[in-house]
Amino acid sequence: MKIFVVNAGSSSLKYQLIDMENEQVLCKGLCERIGVEGSCISHKSADGKVYETETPMPTHSEAFQSVVFAMTKSDAKVIDSFDDISAIGHRIVQGGSIFKGSCIITPEALNDIEELGALAPLHNPAHVLAIKACIETFGSEKPQVAVFDTSFHQTMPAKAYMFPIPYKYFTDYKVRKYGAHGTSHNFVSSRCAEIMDKDIKDLKIITCHLGNGCSITAVKGGECIDTSMGFTPLDGFMMGTRTGTLDPSAITFIAEKENLSPADLNRIFNKESGVLGVSGVSNDNRDVVAAAKEGNERAQLAIDMQRYQIAKFIGSYVAAMNGVDAIVFTGGIGENDAALRAEVCGYLTYLGITVDTDKNALRGENKITTDDSRVSVYVIPTNEELAIARDTLALVK
């Protein structure tokens, strides 16, 4: 069975085709600038063949048609026809309190995803466009599945997901913590239990997804009991361009001083803050680390702040679970930045964590602590596309 995994944004479309017999990626690609001048597709097959072209894509429908061409007719083709594809799995950012797991996309589910656009205006409307374009391109008979970033976090108790604001904002507008990166936290925590050869029901795991966006989740007995991202992916600790948690009065103070609108604040705190805002160098971890090495003090400060905040979140989740058996690092930074992992673990020696420096320097999936470390720390590469494909397969089978 082949599963087509789709991650659609308002002007972009990322995709992978996965053969579920061996869970191998057959091809992957990206359509960019959908709806604007200069739309293009970049497609790569597993054997390294590339198809890249600029072609008009006024809507997601034309983007899918380009993908069909790339997959079935281009020099980098991997299948003869889309009939070879059993189902389509969509990454959906916001499932609200409605979706507690992945689901087959029925007209009712599509309607719910559309309505949840109020909570994720940058994402859900784009997902809906992509789902409708798939129906147009592949027909309504081709099963489509929605896999939500939020559903893994739906097990949080109210004491974790409620905000201490007047209750009417929860009842009237559904303002609460939803979390994000759920597919990744679910994937790496399950894999962690597998590596440890233990039943996840008996484990307390803290998963750190550190990429451009960053979040940390407390997974107790296989269920999320708390997570750092909140109402939106802006909450938690500092990321490439996002603030993480802020004193609300700092926000109102700055807004008054500079006469800023809510839209201005959204832009500043989502796109101009975090590691970029403090360092003034870049949102990319590698650039900031390089600048710090050359003596840039603000770059060093940004690095220090982020690592300190990560350690504090981990500590708070040790408290929330009354213990921890394993900590997992994943995402572009979590998987690749050995110095960050060593420094964060350095804050946690009170837990009996001892990092094995040689193992920490290795690439790929590894346990990075010594055998006598009281808590095991792992690097586990995340694979959200594979997780989406697995859920899709399970639902359409």
Q: Please identify every residue annotated as catalytic.
A: 149
One of 11, 72, 155, 336 touching ligand ADP (CB under 6 A): 336
285 binds ligand ADP (CB under 6 A): yes
114 binds ligand ADP (CB under 6 A): no
β-pair partners for 329 = 208, 379
Binding mask 10-39 for ligand ADP (x = CB under 6 A): ------------------------------
Site for ligand ADP in 243-262 (CB under 6 A): none
> What is the DSSP track for 322-382?
T--SEEEEEHHHHHH-HHHHHHHHHTTGGGT--B-HHHHTS-SSEE-B-TT-SSEEEE---
270 binds ligand ADP (CB under 6 A): no
Which is closer to ligand ADP, CB of 104 or CB of 339?
339
Tell me the three state secondary structure of residue 40: strand
The residue whose Cβ lies closest to ligand ADP is: 332
Tell me the three state secondary structure of residue 255: helix
Which is closer to ligand ADP, CB of 179 or CB of 373?
179
95 binds ligand ADP (CB under 6 A): no
331 binds ligand ADP (CB under 6 A): yes
> What is the DSSP track for 322-339?
T--SEEEEEHHHHHH-HH
Query: Shortest approach of ligand ADP to residue 329 CB, angstroms?
Result: 11
Site for ligand ADP in 170-209 (CB under 6 A): none
Tell me the three state secondary structure of residue 117: helix
293 binds ligand ADP (CB under 6 A): no
Structure-block tokens of residue 235:
């909450």
The DSSP output letter for 174 is -
Q: How many CA atoms lie within 13 A of 148 on its CB side?
A: 26
213 binds ligand ADP (CB under 6 A): yes
Interacting residue ranges for ligand ADP, rule: CB under 6 A: 211-213, 240, 284-286, 331-333, 336-337
